[in-house]
């Protein structure tokens, strides 16, 4: 347990920036104009946590984990620093931005160089941590728990400390078992474990019996597996169509014993290493990068879309923030919503109308969008405008859009004439599209016909819905808005129109004219007019938004809407829930780029697919899915403050797709073991339309008297799963990776007769 163990694991032994963080230093913490206080920040020896201390003697010190940091931003990049510091302090400022709802830590260093070193050091350590594989993360985590249990810091462990350590790692064992393990490892008979004895203890603890069985079967009970044995395993169990050369590559990549590697053989340690890496993951690595055709018309894709993007919490009184846009865009969201209202001093603001949500300047939001839109994905971003502004402030909006976004803003159709279909995401790469009202047809704008500001019917929107509750007597049909030509002209491929009926749309709607549907109406159409809705979405775009009654910013299930070919299914990204898990799972493949090509039967005009009434067709590819949930490794403690609180895990496996495919099965729970629980539970699912199915693994902490608590989940498209023995990574409620935790499963997908 030497203190520099983690430094070398991170590849940062002797690194100057790391040494700087370990020494720590004073920084000015900024909360408001009047609240700026000195805090001492220091990276702890575990290289995983930062200690924050105030100068008040009796004030509690705070600790936060580097795993909870989303990013470190140099300069005045957050709302707080822009508001409460002078531009002259730009190069001394930096912010630590956390995942989830935790507030940013806005800081000022004493010099420009010091600020740079804090940012560089933190980014280096966080980057190194994220680059650790699951095996290294697991060792890193166990090592940290050992250090916590080693109360007197003597790098030795007594039996009492060993028992404490086991509780730290989420494992409750009886005293006899703990003592038996301890005695087995205490070869020096000193009543303490140190050095190689701790290593032995670690090896015993992390030994994987389930991997033993597989290794022995294919290694024919030998100490090492030959390349031919490994190939047999890859072909028979993993069902990979590979040759001997690939088996050699796997050995080269994962074998830890150099002698075995030279002999092209694999030890059990190397075999475990293979399972803990990308090649042993349930997610097909061929789907990791953009692999789909990105030149199809824009409306042939599902598009990751956010609703009320400006909100950090609920839509009645939560704060509006540019930070919410940044978080959504960094998660691959490609359609964000801007509710625009008249603000003070002629500057439009964004907030949820008729509510107590705070306001944020329109121009600040556009600056944040410009800065962060293409960091995760290069594909186009739609700015969905819900416009409630006066003509004058609309002109200001148009000015901000053109001046801030510059040439990235699409201001006329691609090419030199109006097409009859959308361009593809590839042609629109790096561009911003405005969705909103337009005064005239695109052709008129293209020919530069001038049109004055005119009255125009407002689209259906949530704020109108909220106001409806207050003013029942006023008819929404009479609500008109005046539209500024400058703003109207920026709407090219996403012109908002009212939806009357599919027949009306067929006769009157141009391909670039799109309707927004409230969730209730959309679900009704998807259930009762699915084939018509699918055909409508073959040459037009549809945007779906949550009902205004969802004041807690909860979400509806996006899957039935995707099944009907709807592209822009907008969800509240700020709300962690099952529906957001499904959204993240849907957009996991194709480089997490926010665009996913719809199945061919949702694009082909001859298709008669109906998700509610299945007939024979190319969509019908019946599969039997056999899943064995074998074990889990290092599940997180839910109550970190209570050492004796150990999880009782169970696993639910859920299929989400067309109605007939929806199903859920679960294991039993295992008492007091979140470290290495084993179930060996077998499930079988019949899936009729795999191209639309998602598979969700959910781990819960069983509670007999109340609702089970969420531990972790992972959602993956059916067609992105790999066969065989695989590890399933686990994500937090907010969709962030839990670095050391995983499920171990066996997957077998067979054609159903």
- Say if residue 313 is in the same domain as residue 459: yes
CATH of the domain at 436: 3.20.20.190
Q: Is the pLDDT of residue 458 over 80?
A: no
Q: What's the chain's average pLDDT?
A: 89
Catalytic residue (choose from 307, 388, 535, 536): 307
Contacts of 104 (CB under 8 A, 6+ apart): 78, 80, 95, 96, 97, 98, 323
Q: Is the pLDDT of residue 152 over 90?
A: no
DSSP 3-state of 642 = coil
Catalytic (active site) residue 277: no
What pLDDT, in 10s, does the model give residues 688-701?
999 999 999 999 99
CA distance 654 to 579: 13
What pLDDT, in 10s, does the model give residues 571-581?
999 899 999 99
CA distance 212 to 192: 29
Annotated binding-site residue? 642 = no
CATH of the domain at 661: 2.60.40.150
Annotated binding-site residue? 665 = no
Q: In sequence order, which ranges of 331-380 are alpha helices (DSSP H)?
A: 362-372
- Say if residue 115 is in the same domain as residue 138: no
Q: Give the residue among 385, 387, 381 at the shortest CA–CA distance from 304.
A: 381
CA distance to 48, 74, 732, per residue, from 636 (Å) = 15, 32, 10
DSSP state of 425: T
Please give the sequence-ordered ranges of beta strands (E in DSSP) within 507-636, or none if there are none: 513-518, 542-545, 568-571, 595-597, 623-633
Annotated binding-site residue? 68 = no
- Say if residue 327 is in the same domain as residue 369: yes
Instruction: Specify the pLDDT at position 207.
Output: 87
Contacts of 681 (CB under 8 A, 6+ apart): 628, 629, 651, 667, 668
- Say if residue 233 is in the same domain as residue 320: no
Rounded to the nearest angstrom, the gap between the alpha carbon of residue 390 and the centroid of all alpha carbons in its chain is 37
CB 364 within 8 A of CB 78: no
- Say if residue 50 is in the same domain as residue 112: yes
Annotated binding-site residue? 527 = no
- Say if residue 184 is in the same domain as residue 246: no
Annotated binding-site residue? 359 = no
- Say if residue 314 is in the same domain as residue 442: yes
- Residue 494 counted as domain residue: yes
DSSP-assigned states of every residue in 38-61 = EEEEEE-TTSSEEEEEESSTTSPP
Instruction: Specify the pLDDT at position 614.
Output: 92
The residue from 523, 554, 585 where one domain ends is 554
Q: In sequence order, which ranges of 571-653 are alpha helices (DSSP H)?
A: 578-586
Annotated binding-site residue? 384 = no
- Residue 569 counted as domain residue: no
Residues 85-102 have a mean pLDDT of 91
- Residue 293 counted as domain residue: no
CA angle, corner 626, sides to 708 and 750, nearest 5? Answer: 150
- Both tokens of residue 362? 């329109």
Annotated binding-site residue? 701 = yes
- Residue 495 counted as domain residue: yes
Annotated binding-site residue? 593 = no
Residues 613-626 have a mean pLDDT of 95
- Say if residue 326 is in the same domain as residue 338: yes
Give the pLDDT band (50/70/90) at residue 445: low
CATH of the domain at 202: 1.10.238.10
CA distance 657 to 581: 14
- Say if residue 322 is in the same domain as residue 416: yes
Q: Which of 24-28, 450-454, 477-481, 638-642 has the lowest mean pLDDT?
A: 450-454
CA distance to 344, 354, 475, per residue, from 482 (Å) = 19, 20, 18
Contacts of 143 (CB under 8 A, 6+ apart): 1, 5, 6, 9, 46
Q: Give the residue among 500, 392, 362, 381 at the shortest CA–CA distance from 435.
A: 381
Annotated binding-site residue? 672 = yes
- Domain of residue 145 covers 134-206
Q: Is the pLDDT of residue 456 over 60?
A: no
Instruction: Specify the pLDDT at position 231.
Output: 97
Catalytic (active site) residue 307: yes
Annotated binding-site residue? 31 = yes
What pLDDT, in 10s, does the model give residues 221-252?
899 999 999 999 999 999 999 999 999 999 99
- Residue 290 counted as domain residue: no
CATH of the domain at 30: 2.30.29.30
The residue from 206, 241, 263 where one domain ends is 206
Annotated binding-site residue? 412 = no
CB 46 within 8 A of CB 147: yes
Annotated binding-site residue? 47 = yes
- Say if residue 376 is in the same domain as residue 466: yes
CA distance to 473, 494, 524, 654, 659, per residue, from 531 (Å) = 37, 23, 13, 26, 15
- Say if residue 353 is in the same domain as residue 492: yes
The total domain count for the chain is: 5
CA distance 165 to 161: 6
- Both tokens of residue 401? 């859009």
CB 242 within 8 A of CB 232: no
Give the pLDDT band (50/70/90) at residue 638: confident
Catalytic residue (choose from 140, 287, 300, 352): 352
What does the H/E/C string look like for 271-320? HHHHHCCHHHECECHHHCCCCCCCCCCHHHEEEEEECCCCECCCCCCCCE
371 φ, ψ (degrees, to nearest 5): -70, -35
- Say if residue 110 is in the same domain as residue 160: no
The residue from 175, 206, 237 where one domain ends is 206
CA distance 622 to 709: 34
- Residue 474 counted as domain residue: yes
- Residue 614 counted as domain residue: no
- Both tokens of residue 749? 């997908």
- Residue 575 counted as domain residue: no
């Amino acid at each position: 347990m030497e203190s520099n163990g983690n430094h070398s694991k991170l590849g940062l032994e002797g690194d100057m920036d790391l040494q700087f963080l370990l020494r720590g230093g004073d920084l000015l913490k900024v909360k408001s104009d009047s609240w700026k206080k000195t805090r001492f920040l220091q990276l702890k020896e575990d290289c995983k946590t930062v200690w924050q201390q105030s100068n008040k003697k009796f004030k509690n010190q705070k600790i936060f984990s580097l795993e909870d940091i989303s990013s470190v931003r140099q300069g005045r990049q957050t709302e707080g620093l822009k508001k409460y510091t002078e531009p002259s302090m730009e190069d001394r400022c930096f912010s630590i931005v956390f995942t989830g709802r935790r507030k940013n830590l806005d800081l000022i260093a004493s010099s420009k160089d010091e600020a740079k070193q804090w940012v560089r050091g933190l980014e280096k350590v966080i980057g190194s941590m994220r680059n650790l594989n699951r095996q290294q993360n697991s060792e890193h985590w166990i090592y940290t728990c050992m250090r916590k249990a080693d109360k007197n810091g003597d790098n030795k462990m007594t039996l009492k400390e060993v028992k404490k350590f086991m509780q730290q790692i989420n494992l409750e064992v009886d005293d006899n078992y703990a003592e038996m393990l301890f005695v087995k490892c205490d070869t020096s008979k000193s009543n303490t474990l140190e050095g190689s004895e701790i290593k032995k203890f670690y090896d015993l603890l992390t030994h994987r019996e389930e991997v033993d069985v597989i290794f022995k079967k294919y290694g024919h009970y030998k100490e090492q597996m030959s390349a031919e044995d490994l190939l047999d395993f890859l072909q028979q169990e993993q069902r990979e169509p590979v040759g001997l050369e690939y088996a050699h590559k796997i050995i080269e990549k994962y074998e830890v014993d150099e002698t075995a590697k030279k002999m092209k053989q694999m030890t059990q340690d190397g075999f475990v290493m293979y399972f803990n890496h990308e090649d042993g993951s349930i997610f097909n690595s061929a789907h990791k990068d953009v692999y789909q055709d990105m030149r199809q018309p824009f409306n042939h894709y599902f598009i990751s879309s956010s609703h009320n993007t400006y909100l950090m919490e609920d839509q009645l009184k939560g704060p509006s923030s540019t930070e919410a846009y940044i978080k959504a865009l960094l998660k691959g969201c490609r359609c964000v919503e801007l509710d625009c209202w008249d603000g003070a001093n002629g500057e439009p603001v964004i907030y949820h109308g008729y509510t107590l949500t705070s306001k944020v300047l329109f121009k600040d939001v556009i600056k944040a969008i410009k800065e962060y839109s293409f960091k995760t994905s290069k594909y186009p971003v739609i700015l969905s405008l819900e416009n409630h502004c006066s003509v004058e402030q609309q002109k200001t909006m148009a000015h901000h859009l053109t001046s801030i976004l510059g040439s990235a803003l699409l201001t006329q159709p691609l090419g030199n004439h109006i097409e009859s279909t959308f361009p593809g995401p590839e042609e629109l790469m790096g561009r911003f599209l405005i969705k909103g009202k337009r005064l005239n047809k695109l052709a008129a704008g293209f020919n530069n016909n001038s049109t004055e500001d005119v009255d125009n019917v407002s689209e259906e929107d949530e704020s109108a819905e909220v106001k409806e509750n207050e003013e029942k007597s006023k008819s929404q049909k009479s609500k008109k808005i005046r539209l500024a030509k400058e703003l109207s002209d920026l709407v090219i491929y996403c012109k908002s129109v009212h939806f009357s009926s599919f027949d009306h749309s067929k006769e009157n709607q141009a391909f670039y004219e799109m309707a927004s549907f409230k969730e209730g109406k959309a679900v009704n159409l998807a259930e009762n007019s699915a084939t018509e809705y699918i055909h409508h979405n073959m040459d037009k775009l549809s945007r779906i938004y949550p009902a205004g009654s969802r004041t807690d910013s909860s979400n509806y299930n996006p899957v039935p809407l995707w099944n009907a070919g709807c592209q822009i299914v907008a969800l509240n990204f700020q709300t962690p829930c099952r529906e957001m898990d499904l959204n993240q799972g849907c957009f996991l493949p194709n480089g997490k780029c926010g665009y996913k090509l719809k199945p061919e039967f949702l694009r082909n005009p001859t298709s008669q697919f109906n998700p509610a009434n299945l007939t024979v067709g190319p969509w019908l590819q019946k599969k039997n899915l056999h899943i064995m949930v074998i074990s889990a490794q290092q599940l997180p403690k839910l109550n970190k403050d209570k050492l004796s609180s150990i999880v009782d895990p169970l696993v639910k496996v859920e299929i989400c797709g067309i109605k007939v495919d929806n199903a859920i099965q679960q294991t039993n729970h295992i008492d007091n073991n979140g470290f290495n629980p084993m179930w060996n539970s077998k499930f079988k699912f019949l899936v009729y339309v795999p191209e639309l199915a998602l598979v969700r693994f959910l781990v819960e902490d069983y509670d007999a008297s109340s609702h089970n608590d969420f531990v972790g989940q992972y959602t993956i498209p059916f067609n992105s799963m790999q066969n065989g023995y695989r590890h399933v990574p686990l994500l937090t409620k907010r969709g962030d990776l839990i670095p050391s935790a995983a499920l171990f499963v066996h997957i077998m997908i067979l054609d159903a007769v």
